[in-house]
Amino acid sequence: MATTTHYFFAVRLPDSVKQIIHDQMMKTTSTFRFKRWVHREDYHITLAFLGSVGEEQLSSVIQLVGESLKGGAGFQLQIKSLDIFGNKQSPRIFWAGVSKERRLYDLQKTVYRQCIEAGFTLESRPYHPHITLARKWAAEDEFTSVLLERYNPFLENPLSFQVNEVVLYKTNLDQEPKYEPVASFPLK
C-alpha cells in the first residue's frame, strides 16, 4: 500500500529551542507516559495543513506564500504551557502552548489566505497554535490534568525564542524525523 505524501506550512523552531524542549520533556516521561514521543527535529507550530498536493498546485502555493511573506518581520514567542487534546483521561495528543501573540495569528492568516488562493480546502476550526510533543496515552491509570501544571518546566521559566522562518514541510511517514523541509521563507 502506497503512502500519500502530505504537506504543511509551519513556523520552524530554532535548533537550540528544540533541544531544550526535548531535554525537558525527556525528564518527564515517567510522569507523562505517552506511547510515541515526537522526534525533536519535528517540533514546529503548524500554520496550514495542505494534505496531498499536485506539483502544479505545490509550485503555485510556494510562489503565493513566498510573495506574501517578503519583507515580513520576525517576532518573539514564549513556550509557557502544557496541555492535551482528546479524552481527558486518555489523551491522544500532548502539546506545549505558546504565548498569545497577535503577530503569530496574523502570520497564520496570511499563509492561510494564500493557500486558499492556490485552491486548497483547509481546516476551518479556529487556529490553535501548539507544539506537539507526544501521542497516545499509554499508561493503565487515567491521565490527570493536575500533572500539566505540576510538571511543567516552562511555567515559571517560559522558553523565549525568535520566530524568523516559515517552512513548507513534506511528511515522510516511514522516516524519523518525519518532516522534511521543501521550501523556506525567512522573516526579517
Active-site option among 6, 39, 128, 130: 130
User: What is the 8-class DSSP label of residue 173?
Assistant: T
Sign of CA dihedral 160, 162, 166, 171: negative
In sequence order, what E strands does 13-74 have?
34-37, 44-51
Instruction: Let me know if 39 is a catalytic residue.
Output: no
User: What is the 8-class DSSP label of residue 143?
Assistant: P
Residue 183 parent element (H or E): strand 179-186
Instruction: Let me know if 130 is a catalytic residue.
Output: yes
Coarse DSSP helix, strand, coil percentages of the chain, rounded to the nearest 5 percent: 25, 35, 40
Distance CA(154)–CA(157), nearest Å, equals 5
Active-site option among 6, 22, 39, 44: 44
Distance CA(128)–CA(81), nearest Å, equals 13
Q: Which of 108, 129, 107, 132 is nearest to 41 (CA)?
A: 132
Question: Catalytic residue positions?
Answer: 44, 130
